[in-house]
């Protein structure tokens, strides 16, 4: 065997291993219900940002360049849509044609969100103009975005858990959904209790992460800064131009990915415990066995 033959055999193995590493990194950042911690508790993201830079960016945006806010909101929604598309591809493992259907469904929900936001804007403008009631629009937009993002992430996580037994049997999305709905009609109470349990687990894991980052990671970052003089937190920049919008969105996106990586050990540990002690597939198999007897 020549040296060239050896090199040609090593290269495919290296490419496969690199592909696996990259796939695992993507799974760690975007898999399961990762990301929901930022939508449930946005303060977990701010712990990774310099507080002074957040204040400067917020003051420059809402104080002097409020006309940049629609473009900023559009950029954030675009990033969230891409994030959800990647997440759905990771947790469902469906072919491209099925992913296209999920993409259409996601865009319909985004369209519904935009319509609700426009209604809120019209109502808040009416109240501000005729009754002098101001400040309701910003709070309503914040709560709407928080509710939409949180519900969407948890919904797709729950659905992926419920469809996993059928996906393991190589059912397609439509066939698996029909089989699951047939099972759910006969086990409504159990399904409601199991779904509630998973939601409580998601909220509890988020709370654990929030406590960990507040009392352990954030003080550690501050201590390392005092010790070495190196700031490990991300720094936002003031909004002086349109380019600054995309820079700040990119910075927040990087902080979001770091938050997901820090949250992932908790998520995968709890997910391992759930699959070990209360796996949903085991209950489906039991009911399927009863039905075939």
Distance CA 288, CA 277 (A): 19
Burial of 274 (0-12, 13-18, 19+ CB in 10 A): middle
Per-residue pLDDT tens digits for 39-49: 999 888 988 88
246: three-class secondary structure by DSSP: helix
Average pLDDT rounded to a whole number, residues 175-196: 87
Query: Are 29 and 261 a contacting pair, CB within 8 Å?
Result: yes
Rounded to 10 deg, the angle between the 188-212 and 242-277 helix axes is: 120
Query: Are 88 and 155 a contacting pair, CB within 8 Å?
Result: no
Does the pLDDT at position 55 exceed 90?
Answer: no
Which residues are CB-contacts of 7 (< 8 A; sequence separation ≥ 6)? none
Does the pLDDT at position 51 exceed 90?
Answer: no
Query: Are 30 and 83 a contacting pair, CB within 8 Å?
Result: yes
Instruction: Provide the 10 A C-beta neighbour count for residue 254.
Output: 12
Which residue shows structure tokens 């493992």?
Answer: 93
Q: What is the structure's pLDDT at 12? A: 60
Does the pLDDT at position 192 exceed 60?
Answer: yes
Instruction: Provide the 10 A C-beta neighbour count for residue 201.
Output: 17
The torsion angles phi and psi of 237, rounded to 5 degrees, stand at: -115, 150
Nearest Cα neighbor of 196 from 158, 161, 160 is 158
Per-residue pLDDT tens digits for 116-168: 877 877 777 777 767 666 666 677 778 888 888 999 999 989 988 888 888 87
Residue 54 in tokens:
């957040």
Nearest Cα neighbor of 162 from 255, 92, 99, 93 is 92
Q: What is the structure's pLDDT at 1? A: 52
Percent of the chain's residues with pLDDT above 70 = 85
Q: What is the structure's pLDDT at 94? A: 65
Query: Are 71 and 244 a contacting pair, CB within 8 Å?
Result: no
Domain ranges (residues) in the chain: 33-288
171: three-class secondary structure by DSSP: coil
Does the pLDDT at position 202 exceed 90?
Answer: yes
Query: Are 42 and 256 a contacting pair, CB within 8 Å?
Result: no
For 93, left (φ over 0), alpha (ψ -120 to 50), or beta?
left
Residue 238 in tokens:
């003031």
Rounded to the nearest 10°, the torsion over CA 53, 56, 62, 66 is -80
Q: What is the structure's pLDDT at 289? A: 46
Q: What is the pTM of this model?
A: 0.84
């Amino acid at each position: 065997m020549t040296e060239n033959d050896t090199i040609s055999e090593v290269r495919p193995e290296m490419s496969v291993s690199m592909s696996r590493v990259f796939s695992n990194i993507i799974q760690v950042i975007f898999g399961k219900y990762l990301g929901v911690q930022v939508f449930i508790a946005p303060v977990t993201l701010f712990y990774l940002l310099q507080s002074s830079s957040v204040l400067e960016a917020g003051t420059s945006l809402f104080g002097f360049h409020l006309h940049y806010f629609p473009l900023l909101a559009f950029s954030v929604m675009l990033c969230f849509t891409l994030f959800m598309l990647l997440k759905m591809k990771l947790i469902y493992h469906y072919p491209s044609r099925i992913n296209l259907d999920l993409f259409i469904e996601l865009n319909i929900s985004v369209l519904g969100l935009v319509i609700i936001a426009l209604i809120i804007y019209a109502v808040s403008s009416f109240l501000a103009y005729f009754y002098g009631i101001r400040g309701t629009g910003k709070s309503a937009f914040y709560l709407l975005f928080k509710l939409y993002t949180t519900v969407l992430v948890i919904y797709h996580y729950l659905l992926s858990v419920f469809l996993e037994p059928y996906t393991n049997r190589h059912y397609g999305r439509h066939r698996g959904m029909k089989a699951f709905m047939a099972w759910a009609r006969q086990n409504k109470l159990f399904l409601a209790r199991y779904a509630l349990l998973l939601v409580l687990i998601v909220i509890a894991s988020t709370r654990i992460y929030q406590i960990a980052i507040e009392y352990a990671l954030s003080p550690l970052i501050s201590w390392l800064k005092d010790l070495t003089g190196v700031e490990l937190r991300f720094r936002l920049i003031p909004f002086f131009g349109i380019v600054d919008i995309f820079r700040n969105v990119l910075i927040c996106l990087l902080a979001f990915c770091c938050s997901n990586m820090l949250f992932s050990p908790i998520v995968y540990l709890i997910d391992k415990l759930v699959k070990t002690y209360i796996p949903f597939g085991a209950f489906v198999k039991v009911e399927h066995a009863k039905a075939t007897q």
